[in-house]
């Protein structure tokens, strides 16, 4: 098992390098949802320090299980976060990738203020307006970010999207390009509490295309750890 993950990672690294001929820094989030503590330990041993989970409860369980390693792990909450779960997550993450509503922003601000913390998030954008996906529409992003100026404890550090699943990953290219354009536009248009540093796009199916289109943060599960057990 360990060796398989290692081989997968070496292969993935090569593919990332190929999609990134200029050698820009690309952060890899190892998505360990449904996987065990051992899998996370293996990822850490390979130098993968950014660990992503998509469910608050599973994240908190794993966080506690690995509390003794917390200096070595940077946790990323990448899935939709319900407001009643915010209190369990605040203070434990390097980045929440799934800021997808004003109500969630207010709850994060409130909890972060209560603990005297500053919480880094990414604005999740639903580029293709899929009903099944969370996120702010592209054309609403600027006004949403203006509204973030009033917050003292929640910070926006970039954008995140999930492309639709296509049999042919080439079809995701436009979605990634549209988000990169917004990212570049927002870089020139500074708001309080908003910095465009991370562009989190690309999953196992489409990360090479996302990187070609300017992603600097990819969220990888299956390509590193194999297919997840069907729940």
Ligand X SMILES: *Cc1c(COP(=O)(O)O)cnc(C)c1O
Min. distance of Cβ 97 from ligand X in angstroms?
7
Sign of CA dihedral 183, 188, 189, 193: positive
Interaction of residue 211 with ligand X, rule CB under 6 A: no
**Count of other CB atoms within 10 angstroms of residue 37:** 13
Min. distance of Cβ 135 from ligand X in angstroms?
11
Of 8 and 223, nearer to ligand X (C-beta) is 223
d(CA 27, CA 119) in angstroms, rounded, equals: 19
Min. distance of Cβ 172 from ligand X in angstroms?
12
Instruction: Kindly tell me which residue out of 33, 74, 83, 106 binds ligand X, with binding defined by CB under 6 A.
Output: 33
Interaction of residue 35 with ligand X, rule CB under 6 A: no
Interaction of residue 219 with ligand X, rule CB under 6 A: yes
Interaction of residue 222 with ligand X, rule CB under 6 A: yes
Instruction: Kindly tell me which residue out of 5, 79, 99, 107 binds ligand X, with binding defined by CB under 6 A.
Output: 79
Query: Binders of ligand X among 119-148, rule CB under 6 A?
Result: none
Which pair of structure tokens corresponds to residue 193?
A: 């509490």
Whether 202 and 180 have beta carbons less than 8 Å apart is answered as: no
Site string for ligand X, 11-30 (x = CB under 6 A): --------------------
Interaction of residue 99 with ligand X, rule CB under 6 A: no
Sorted by sequence, the CB contacts under 8 Å of residue 161 that are 6+ apart come out as: 124, 125, 126, 127, 135, 175, 176, 179, 200, 201
Interaction of residue 180 with ligand X, rule CB under 6 A: no
146, HSE (Cβ side, Cα atoms, 13 Å): 6
Whether 193 and 180 have beta carbons less than 8 Å apart is answered as: no
- The DSSP output letter for 207 is H
d(CA 211, CA 215) in angstroms, rounded, equals: 5
Instruction: Kindly tell me which residue out of 73, 186, 203, 211 binds ligand X, with binding defined by CB under 6 A.
Output: 203
- The DSSP output letter for 148 is G
Of 78 and 141, nearer to ligand X (C-beta) is 78
State the residues that interact with ligand X by CB under 6 A.
31, 33, 54, 78-79, 162, 203-205, 219-223
């Amino acid at each position: 098992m360990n060796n398989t993950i290692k081989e997968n990672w070496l292969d993935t690294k090569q593919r990332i390098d190929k999609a990134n001929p200029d050698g820009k820094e690309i952060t890899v989030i190892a998505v360990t949802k449904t996987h065990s503590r051992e899998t996370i330990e293996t990822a850490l041993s390979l130098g993968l320090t950014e660990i992503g989970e998509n469910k608050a409860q599973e994240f908190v369980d794993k966080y506690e299980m690995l509390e003794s390693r917390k200096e070595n792990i940077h946790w990323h909450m990448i899935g939709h976060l319900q407001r009643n779960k915010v209190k369990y997550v605040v203070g434990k993450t390097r980045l929440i990738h799934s800021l997808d509503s004003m109500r969630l922003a207010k709850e994060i601000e409130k909890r972060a203020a209560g603990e005297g913390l500053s919480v880094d998030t990414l604005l999740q954008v639903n580029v293709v307006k899929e009903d099944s996906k969370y996120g702010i529409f592209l054309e609403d992003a600027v006004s949403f970010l203006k509204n973030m100026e009033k917050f003292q404890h929640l910070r926006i550090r970039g954008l995140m999207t999930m492309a639709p699943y296509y049999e042919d990953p080439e079809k995701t290219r436009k979605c990634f390009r549209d988000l990169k354009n917004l990212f570049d536009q927002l870089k020139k248009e500074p708001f309080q509490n908003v910095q465009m540093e991370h562009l989190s796009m690309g999953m196992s199916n489409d990360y090479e295309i996302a990187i070609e289109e300017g992603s600097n943060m990819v969220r990888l599960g299956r390509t590193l750890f194999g297919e997840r057990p069907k729940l």
